[in-house]
Amino acid sequence: MELYFDGAATTPLLPEVEQELTSSFSLYGNPSSLHAKGVASDRAIQTARRAVLGNLGAKSGRVIFTGSGTEANNLAIAGVLRRFRERGRHIVTSAIEHPSVLEAVRGWQREGWEVTFISPRQDGGVRAEDVLDAVRPDTVLVSLMHVNNETGAILPVVEVGQVLRGIPKTLFHVDGIQAFGKLDTAAAVRFADLYSLSGHKVGAPKGVGALYLRDGLELEPLCYGGGQEFGLRSGTENVLGIIALGRAATVAAEHRVHNLEVCSALATSLVEGLEAISGCMVQRPETASPYIVSAAFPGLRGEVLVHAFEAQGLYVSTGSACSTRRGHVSRSHVLTAMGRSEAEVTGTIRFSLGWWSTPEMVEQALSVVSEQVHWLMGVTRRGR
């Protein structure tokens, strides 16, 4: 049995999505073409757009399809700052955001914008009052993730959004990439001006994402051209990728409650099992997504654990896959911001669940972890 526990990095292709793709290969027409082939492709895109809106729980607004969640985040940030730069030169975000947000705002920081980075609590959560206290009259944008991709911490996006709705000059962007299709996002989307998502986190292929915009909000595009996607993402659309995302959104919406219940039970079993392993420190935020469990093994290195587990058929991650490169694993900025020790940071691994996860997989994963950690600890002690 393959023990895949890296769904926060990417998910397997949903069977329903694979079937949808197979039946859609004939839709090769350019959606901008006026003939029947183009119209058929355009209709498929509009169907997917409605499916994404439905999954989000949005009653209105627009969905802009992009090439990834990273592009969606960058479009949200750059699109707002370019459009509304006369309102001020200040951005508020947290210190535990995904690199696609952190690096984007740092780029604007180098261009003279001031950025306030909100520190997390020791458990990885972020206080709404800390975010709101940082907002100033010249704050143009607040960007906050819905679920942290390393610890699973659920951030107070609804509470922040409710207050910011009363400050119309400050726009609110939510990176919902780890929440879309897994949690109920309706309340967050209701109070967000922009909400990002990614296809390959919910059973669609890589190479497609989307950005939700509330009604009436206009942005500056990242690229210019034929005016596709409401003029915000020019270029011929990735029809098959968009169809896949739409189908994945529909399937996720249909099974969200069931998957949430199952994964909540599995996460509880996983946490209890990890806590019973000598030397393991489970890093569980007070309010956390059941899809992500972070654990530290001080004295061992995360990348060593990843490969030791892989040899036994267990696939996990050291943290954000986007900050890991072959031959080099970057130090987690999330755990560092939480104040974790060097040994905890370097010894952390992430387990992430999904619709494919079962109790048997959790049981076998815990057996692998216990066996390999015990063996590696012994090797480490003998080597000293």
Tell me, which fold does domain 15-251 have in CATH? Aspartate Aminotransferase; domain 2 (3.40.640)
Residue ranges of E strands in the chain: 3-4, 62-66, 90-94, 114-118, 139-145, 171-175, 194-198, 209-213, 281-283, 292-296, 314-315, 324-325, 328-329, 348-352
Domain limits of the chain? 3-9+255-378, 15-251
Element (H, E) at 304: helix 302-310
Q: Is residue 322 scored above 90 in pLDDT?
A: no
Q: How many whole angstroms separate alpha carbon 291 and alpha carbon 264? A: 7
pLDDT at 331: 82
Say yes or no to pLDDT of 326 above 90.
no
| For residue 327, pLDDT beyond 90 | no
Give the type of residue at 49. R
The tens digit of pLDDT for each residue in 260-271 reads 999 999 999 999
Q: What is the mean pLDDT of residues 180-189?
A: 97
Q: What is the predicted pLDDT for the residue at 381?
A: 60
Active site residues: 322
Q: Is the dihedral of CA 314, 318, 319, 321 positive or negative?
A: negative
Give the residue-averaged pLDDT of 265-292. Answer: 95
Please tell me the CATH superfamily of domain 3-9+255-378, with its number.
Aspartate Aminotransferase, domain 1 (3.90.1150.10)
Asked if pLDDT for residue 276 goes beyond 80, the answer is yes
pLDDT of 122-162, one tens digit each? 999 999 999 999 999 999 999 999 999 999 999 999 999 99
What does pTM read for this prediction?
0.95
Segment 49-73, tens digit of pLDDT = 999 999 999 989 999 999 999 999 9
pLDDT at 107 over 90: yes
Mean pLDDT of the chain: 94
Q: Buried b vs exposed e over 140-168: b needs ≥16 C-beta within 10 Å?
A: bbbbbbbbbbbbbbbbbbbbbbbbbeeee
> Is there a common fold for 3-9+255-378 and 15-251?
no
DSSP string of 162-202, one letter each residue: HHHTT-TTSEEEEE-TTTTTTS--HHHHHH-SEEEEEGGGT
